[in-house]
Amino acid sequence: MTPEEKTLVEILDEHNPIDLARYINYVTAPQAGAISTFSGTTRDSFEGKTVLELRYEAYKPMAIRCIKSICSSARSSWNLHSIAVAHRLGPVPVGITSVFIAISAVHRVDALDACKFVIDELKASVPIWKKEVYANGEVWKENSEFLERRLELGKKDGVGGGKDVEFEGHHRKGCCGAKVKVNGGGVANISTSHGWSSELE
Amino acid sequence: MEGKIETQTMDAMPEGKEGSSVKIKVLFFARARDLTGLSEMPMEVSSGSSAHDCLNDLVAKFPSLEEIRGCLVLALNEEYTTESAIVGDKDELAIIPPISGG
């Protein structure tokens, strides 16, 4: 990294909204011709049930380490200028951003591909949890990306292993009894890059 | 933690390989916290115990953890670990149920 290339990782305590403009400004640079962003927001329903809010918690110091490791990994795979990743904790109401990624690069292909990589890796390996709250109950969600990666995590290179990480064929349907597995996350996905493509079924 | 092996027996300690023990901190998140009712607790295990041994002790103490045992992962000192890793004194062992960030 040259001195002007920067990485910012923030886990925001509850009731602190994510200031999208701040992170976009952070990665903006004269030499970068592209800025790619991903915003994950609380969706209003899951399998027909009305969702009131999502409640997030994190193993904060480890989550920050994991995200930084993912950012380093992204830099080793693509030519990037700056990276900003923010994740909110606590309750996040419908329509509001819970996770935001902004990446700048000289050329757009690097920024777009790296942005998808970072959100996919974040969902697979960063120790953050969300509970989906309905009018009549709540459930801890499980990312399908994690369940696929679970057996690899304790081994070397389990986290942020680069864009050529291969998933082993453990297509589990979730392993915690009757609990709901999330396909594609409990968030709606707004992205300036690709659509969401992580669904299993 | 090297040094004298005391003659006194430790409470609730299985016989350690070297007769000594290590004290670790266990963290519970999300569903694991709901099941145990605790976000963290201190734990004493025999020297040479693996993360797997610690998990066995925890499931014995909190049988409800059995429900998520097949899908959780462990982290030792803020890094994912295999269950065969040996825990050391003052280590922080985190019980990580399926994550759902993003």
Rounded to the nearest 10 degrees, the angle between the axes of helix A60-77 and helix A108-125 is 150
Nearest by CB to residue A154, choosing from B34, B71, B80, is B80
Identify the band that residue A200 occupies on the pLDDT scale cut at 50, 70 and 90. Answer: very low
Neighbour-count burial for B44-76, b at 16+ CB within 10 Å, e otherwise = ebbbebbbebbbebbeeebeebebbeebbbbbb
Task: Tell which wins on pLDDT, A24 or B13.
Answer: A24
Res A16 pLDDT > 80: yes
pTM of the prediction?
0.82
The per-residue pLDDT for B3 is 43
- List pLDDT tens digits, range A132-148: 999 999 999 999 999 99
- List pLDDT tens digits, range B43-76: 999 999 999 999 999 999 999 999 999 999 999 9
Tell me, rounded to whole angstroms, the distance of Cα A159 from its chain centroid. 13
**In the predicted model, what is the mean pLDDT of chain A?**
84
The answer to whether the Cβ–Cβ distance between A182 and B100 falls below 8 Å is yes
Compute the count of residue pairs across chains A and B with CB atoms less than 8 Å apart: 108
Res A96 pLDDT > 80: yes
The per-residue pLDDT for A146 is 96
Identify the band that residue A2 occupies on the pLDDT scale cut at 50, 70 and 90. Answer: confident
3-state secondary structure of B49: coil
**Which chain A residue lies closest to B69 (C-alpha atoms)?**
A176
Nearest by CB to residue B99, choosing from A127, A177, A186, is A127
> Residues of chain A whose C-beta is under 8 A from some C-beta in B?
40, 56-59, 61-63, 65, 87, 98-99, 119, 122-123, 125-131, 140-143, 146-147, 150, 153-155, 158-159, 174-177, 182, 185-187
Mutate to test the interface with B, among A57, A173, A176 (most CBs of B within 10 A): A176
Which chain B residues contact residue A176 at CB under 8 A?
31, 67-68, 70-71, 97-98
The minimum CA-CA distance between A153 and chain B, rounded to whole Å, is 6
Residue A122 backbone phi and psi in degrees, to 5: -60, -45
CB A179 within 8 A of CB A142: yes
The per-residue pLDDT for A187 is 53
Q: What is the mean pLDDT of residues A11-21?
A: 97
Other Cβ atoms less than 10 A from the Cβ of B88: the count is: 15
Which chain A residues contact residue B102 at CB under 8 A?
40, 87, 98-99, 119, 122-123, 128, 143, 185, 187
* Tokens encoding A26: 């952070």
Distance between CA atoms of B36 and B40, rounded to whole angstroms? 9
CB A53 within 8 A of CB A91: yes
Distance between CA atoms of A176 and A126, rounded to whole angstroms? 19
Nearest by CB to residue A62, choosing from B31, B75, B102, is B75
Distance between CA atoms of B99 and B65, rounded to whole angstroms? 16
The answer to whether the Cβ–Cβ distance between B71 and A63 falls below 8 Å is no
Identify the band that residue B18 occupies on the pLDDT scale cut at 50, 70 and 90. Answer: low
The per-residue pLDDT for A3 is 73
Q: What is the mean pLDDT of residues A87-102?
A: 98
Angle subtended at Cα A80 by Cα A79 and Cα A81, rounded to the nearest 5 degrees: 135
Closest CA to B72 of B86, B60, B61, B58: B58
- List pLDDT tens digits, range A152-173: 998 865 554 444 443 333 333 3
- List pLDDT tens digits, range A54-75: 999 999 999 999 999 999 999 9
Task: Tell which wins on pLDDT, B57 or A182.
Answer: B57
**Which chain B residue lies closest to A39 (C-alpha atoms)?**
B102
Which chain B residues contact residue A130 at CB under 8 A?
100-101
ipTM, two decimals, is: 0.83
The per-residue pLDDT for A62 is 98
The per-residue pLDDT for A161 is 45
The per-residue pLDDT for A170 is 37
CB A69 within 8 A of CB A104: no
Nearest by CB to residue A159, choosing from B27, B74, B80, is B80
Q: What is the 3-state secondary structure (H, E, C) of A1-58?
A: CCCCCCEEEEEECCCCCCCHHHHHHHHCCCCCCEEEEEEEEECCEECCEEEEEEEEEE
**Which chain A residue lies closest to B34 (C-alpha atoms)?**
A140
